[in-house]
């Protein structure tokens, strides 16, 4: 609707010899201003040196016959143009949804294009936390949105299996292993102290026995990383999240790609040595100060493998690269982009999304759990408490730019207060209505007179259904699933309002069939949206 009107306005302006201008076409909140309104006449007033209302009247005459199903088109206020559509226009969408099903309003703008989405990428040093969970659900939902638009998506997990944190993990497991053997052995400073380290040490002992030497540290590292990786993968699987590729950081070292990046940056004049460390001249790219790539101990900082990894991403030829990081990475990714540009690579196709942190609350009070897990809340614990569907939806309810207070008390409620229950109950109610229509002697509603769908609540519901494409376009441009969660809630609310006022199956068989087709269309659209968010749409509750 909106894009059609915008296109016809631009076309009409061209026919009239008017200049192209930037204008807005939108759905006004107040229905007194029609279904769609535009300010194009106001934006043309200055270049045309005419009154907006005069411009609007000329444009209305030019455009009236180009837009089907118009019930009214008129000038309002200072020169706004308001469009009101006929009931037949809205009724036609019930048929479209039922015919297209999952493909209703899909535009396939990404067909033939490839996207890599990197998300989670948590260090394999412990179980996933509730913070990791937000990134996991955001990443998977963004990937689903891209796929809905026709993109070929590769979901990737960057496995940080190298560096100091892995050495500390190995030393921590070694200490617990020695303690299990009855020895006095301390966790190293900065090591990992959670009970899960004891669990790994017990499993290590079962597999390798009691005679593993303390200097065989790599065996402890490899075993712990493998165990934690399996835990991470299983946690994500509970949320129906899977990755296509797990890219190992160690491969960047073993293949020489780290040394290659250092050599290329050095030859291009972007490195210097000071205090025994290797520095990257990030100040040349607008940073306040230069950054260390290799410490004076010879150990690389995490920026260096990140640069090498992103160089590999670019080499693999994706049309779009999306990185999803926590807000604590805000100072890191500009340096990685700067290094890539220093190496001669274009970074215009790399989009970095930062999400804020998560706080678990109960009735507004911050709560802590799982001292067994080293004083952090694991993603598995959250799923146990609230369920996978609720966890996914709650993570997506707010913009990723906003701090998320995850209210566990609300998440556990099975009432209309819980938005997930609200959506799922709406879908289950629709399924029940359709199932039991046969009990009312309506064996089929495949043929129906949709012109009978005239009530205000019905047309308001269909109007929201029509917005689906606009919402999905907004989700794509912003890469924010929040817009879809909000939309589905509005859709469910409009359905509940319709159902409260109007019985679906009545003594009037013709009206009943028309309303059954409407219910089937709403159910289809609601299920489509929930599928894109990775949330189940139960038929019974």
**pLDDT per residue over 179-237, tens digit each?**
999 999 999 988 998 889 999 999 999 999 999 998 999 999 999 999 999 999 999 99
Q: Give the model's pLDDT for residue 375.
A: 61
pLDDT surpasses 80 at 64: yes
CATH 1.10.730.10 holds for 415-533? yes
Quick one: which of 127, 88, 94 has its CA closest to 462?
94
Q: What are the DSSP E strand ranges found in 35-175?
A: 36-38, 70-76, 80-85, 114-118, 152-159
pLDDT surpasses 60 at 370: no
> How confident is residue 50, by pLDDT bands cut at 50, 70 and 90?
very high
Quick one: which of 524, 167, 493, 115 has its CA closest to 324?
115
For 60, the 3-state DSSP assignment is helix
* pLDDT tens, position by position, 433-450: 999 888 777 888 999 999
Q: Give the whole-number percent of the chain exceeding pLDDT 70.
A: 99
Residue carrying structure tokens 């999400």? 355
Q: Give the model's pLDDT for residue 533.
A: 97
Radius of gyration of the chain (CA): 29
Q: Where in the chain is the domain with CATH 1.10.730.10?
A: 415-533
* pLDDT tens, position by position, 508-521: 999 999 999 999 99
- Which pTM was predicted? 0.92
Q: Give the model's pLDDT for residue 283.
A: 94
Q: Which two tokens stand for residue 99?
A: 């015919």
Q: Give the model's pLDDT for residue 296.
A: 94
* pLDDT tens, position by position, 304-326: 999 999 999 999 999 999 999 99
* pLDDT tens, position by position, 377-421: 889 999 999 999 999 999 999 999 999 999 999 999 999 999 999
CATH number of 2-85: 3.30.1360.70
Query: Do the strands 152-159 and 114-118 form a parallel or antiparallel pair, or are they unpaired?
Result: parallel
Least confident of 145-149, 160-164, 404-408: 160-164
Q: Give the model's pLDDT for residue 391.
A: 97
Q: Give the model's pLDDT for residue 373.
A: 44
Across all residues in the chain, what is the average pLDDT?
Answer: 94
Mean pLDDT of the region 82-100: 95
- From the CB of residue 486, how many other CB atoms can be counted at a distance below 10 Å? 16
Q: Which residues contact 519 (CB under 8 A, 6 or more apart)?
A: 430, 433, 434, 504
Q: Where in the chain is the domain with CATH 3.30.1360.70?
A: 2-85
Q: Which two tokens stand for residue 430?
A: 């629709």
């Amino acid at each position: 609707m909106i894009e059609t009107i915008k296109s016809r306005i631009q076309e009409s302006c061209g026919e009239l010899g008017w200049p192209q201008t930037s204008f807005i076409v939108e759905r006004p909140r107040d229905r007194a201003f029609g279904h769609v309104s535009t300010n194009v006449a106001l934006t043309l007033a200055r270049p045309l040196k005419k009154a907006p209302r005069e411009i609007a009247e000329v444009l209305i005459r030019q455009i009236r016959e180009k837009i089907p199903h118009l019930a009214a088109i008129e000038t309002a206020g200072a020169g706004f143009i308001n469009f009101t559509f006929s009931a037949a226009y809205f009724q036609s969408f019930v048929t479209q949804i039922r015919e297209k099903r999952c493909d209703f309003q899909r535009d396939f703008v990404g067909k033939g294009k490839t996207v890599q989405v990197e998300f989670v990428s948590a260090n394999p040093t412990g179980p996933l936390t509730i913070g990791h969970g937000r990134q996991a659900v955001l990443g998977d939902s963004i990937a689903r949105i891209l796929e809905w638009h026709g993109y070929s998506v590769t979901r990737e997990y960057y496995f940080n299996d190298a560096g100091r944190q892995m050495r500390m993990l190995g030393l921590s497991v070694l200490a617990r292993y020695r303690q299990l053997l009855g020895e006095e052995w301390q966790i190293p400073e900065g090591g990992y102290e959670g009970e899960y380290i004891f669990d790994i040490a017990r499993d290590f002992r079962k597999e390798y026995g009691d005679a593993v030497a303390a200097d065989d540290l790599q065996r402890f590292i490899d075993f712990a990383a493998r165990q934690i990786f399996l835990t991470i993968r299983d946690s994500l699987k509970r949320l129906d999240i899977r990755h296509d590729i797990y890219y190992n950081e160690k491969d960047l070292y073993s293949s020489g790609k780290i040394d290659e990046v250092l050599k290329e940056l050095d030859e291009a004049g972007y490195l210097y040595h000071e205090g025994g460390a290797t520095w990257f001249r990030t100040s040349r790219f607008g940073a306040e100060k230069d950054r260390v790539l290799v410490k004076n101990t010879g150990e690389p900082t995490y920026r260096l493998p990140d640069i090498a990894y992103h160089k590999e991403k670019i080499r693999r030829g994706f049309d779009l690269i999306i990185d999803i990081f926590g807000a604590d990475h805000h100072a890191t990714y500009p340096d990685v982009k700067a290094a890539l540009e220093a190496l001669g690579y274009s970074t215009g196709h790399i989009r970095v999304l930062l999400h804020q942190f998560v706080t678990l609350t109960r009735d507004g009070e911050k709560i802590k759990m799982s001292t067994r897990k080293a004083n952090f809340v694991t993603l598995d614990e959250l799923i146990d408490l609230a369920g996978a569907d609720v966890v996914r939806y709650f993570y997506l309810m707010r913009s990723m730019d906003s701090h998320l207070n995850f209210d566990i008390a609300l998440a556990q409620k099975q009432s209309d207060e819980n938005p997930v229950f609200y959506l799922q109950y709406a879908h289950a109610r629709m399924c029940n209505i359709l199932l039991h229509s046969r009990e009312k002697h309506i064996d089929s509603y495949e043929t129906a007179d949709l012109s009978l769908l005239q009530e205000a609540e019905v047309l308001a519901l269909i109007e929201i259904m029509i917005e689906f494409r606009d919402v999905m376009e907004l989700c794509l441009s912003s890469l924010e699933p929040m817009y879809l969660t909000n939309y589905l809630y509005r859709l469910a609310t409009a359905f509940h309002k319709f159902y409260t006022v109007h019985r679906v199956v009545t003594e009037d068989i013709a009206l009943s069939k028309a309303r059954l087709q409407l219910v089937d269309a709403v159910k289809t659209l609601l299920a489509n949206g929930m599928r894109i968010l990775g949330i189940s749409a139960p038929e019974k509750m």
